[in-house]
Amino acid sequence: MAYTRLNNIDREQIMIMLAKDKTFTDIARELKRSVSTISREIKGYQARKTYSALTSQHCAEDLAKSHHTQRKLDNPLLLCILKEKLKLRWSPEQIAQHLRVTYPDDSLMQVSHETIYSYLYVQSRGALKKELIRCLRQHRPTRRTLQKQKEYRGKLVDMVSIHQRPPEVEDRNVPGHWEGDLIMGARNQSALGTLVERKTRFVILVPLRSHDAASVRKAIARNIRHLPAHLFKTLTYDQGKEMAEHVRFTMDTSVQVYFADPHSPWMRGTNENTNGLLRDFFPKGIDFSKVTTKRIREVQHMINERPRETLQWRTPKVAFEEEMRYHIINNYNN
């Protein structure tokens, strides 16, 4: 039986038949409705013997109005800002925070990142939906639910936990604390090492002939040997097996390696964000063994020459060079 909404006349009939002790089945047959419709109507508002047609009608009208209330993202200005920032590759979280800062006293111009995700994946349709989702860093057609992952990898020996890092690493006021990772190529057969300094966001890309532990250890050490010790004091890494020789790396370079918790990329958020930027130049499926060192250095230069809001629109290169100069002048004066 097709579903149609009950009206005030139907509800008056229900109230009369309930007064006559008619069953839900009797009422449904009389009104030519399904029994489930009658059951929901009566149980959804009041007990059977006190059912009120007038009260139930008012409740139904209020509910209908709430369903038709204008959604925040129906606001043309808000939607325009959303589209503009997405096309600039801003994340929903960044957009939500930007709106709170820009419109602190206007609740109609503020939305949560979950509302933005809901708009993108549920409310938008067709070509517009595809266009906006392509602006997200992960271009998934549907949003994945987070699931607890099991740890299958073997534990690295003598790891030092991220929770033992010096407090100065957290506040980013002191340079020399880095985060590292690998960007994997097609079928995980090739890789590119990435290092990013937490304070200045300066990036060093590490070409790799192989991504076994010995090769990664030697390549990172080779790429940082020109830096003064105060600008490379610690390295925070995930628990990937390519860092299995971290103890020897520390012995060779005096750089202490700290390891993030399993499946916790936010603990190395600076590096994760940088890897996302690098995917614009090195998309998934690339074969890094065919990428020249010259091209890798070109991309490193472009990333380090890009102004960053978090650096007051300076570039990572400028910020890092300032730290280098400060070190030289400080040593000269001492």
Quick: pLDDT tens for 282-305.
Answer: 999 999 999 999 999 999 999 999
> 118 vs 319, which has greater pLDDT?
319
Tell me: pLDDT of 311 over 80. yes
Tell me: pLDDT of 148 over 70. no
Q: Angle formed by the axes of helices 293-304 and 316-333, to 10°?
A: 80
Quick: pLDDT tens for 45-77.
Answer: 554 456 777 777 777 665 555 444 346 667 788
Q: What is the mean pLDDT of the chain?
A: 83
Tell me: pLDDT of 222 over 70. yes
Q: Which residues contact 95 (CB under 8 A, 6 or more apart)?
A: 81, 82, 85, 86, 113, 116
> 257 vs 110, which has greater pLDDT?
257
Check: CB of residue 8 under 8 Å from CB of residue 53.
yes
As a whole number of Å, the CA-based R_g of the chain is 30
Tell me: pLDDT of 123 over 80. no
The pLDDT score that the predictor gives to residue 176 is 95
Query: Among 188-202, 220-234, 251-265, 318-332, which stretch is predicted with the lowest mean pLDDT?
Result: 318-332
Query: Which residue type does 293 have?
Result: T
pLDDT-based confidence at residue 179 (cuts at 50, 70, 90): very high
- The residue count of the chain comes to 334
Tell me: pLDDT of 174 over 70. yes
Tell me: pLDDT of 18 over 80. yes
Average pLDDT over residues 322-331: 78
> Of 197, 221, 222, 206, nearest to 321 (Cα)?
197
Tell me: pLDDT of 220 over 80. yes
Nearest-angstrom CA–CA distance, 42 and 45: 6
Secondary structure (H, E, C), 287-334: CHHHCCHHHHHHHHHHHHCCCEHHHCCECHHHHHHHHHHHHHHHHHHC
H or E element, residue 207: strand 203-207
Tell me: pLDDT of 127 over 80. no
Query: Which residue type does 274 have?
Result: T
Q: Which residues contact 196 (CB under 8 A, 6 or more apart)?
A: 178, 179, 180, 202, 203, 204, 270, 271, 274
The pLDDT score that the predictor gives to residue 67 is 45
Nearest-angstrom CA–CA distance, 106 and 57: 34
> 89 vs 81, which has greater pLDDT?
81
Instruction: Give strand pairing partners of 237.
Output: 259
Three-class SS state of 76: helix
Quick: pLDDT tens for 92-112.
Answer: 888 888 888 888 887 778 888
The pLDDT score that the predictor gives to residue 132 is 65
The pLDDT score that the predictor gives to residue 76 is 80
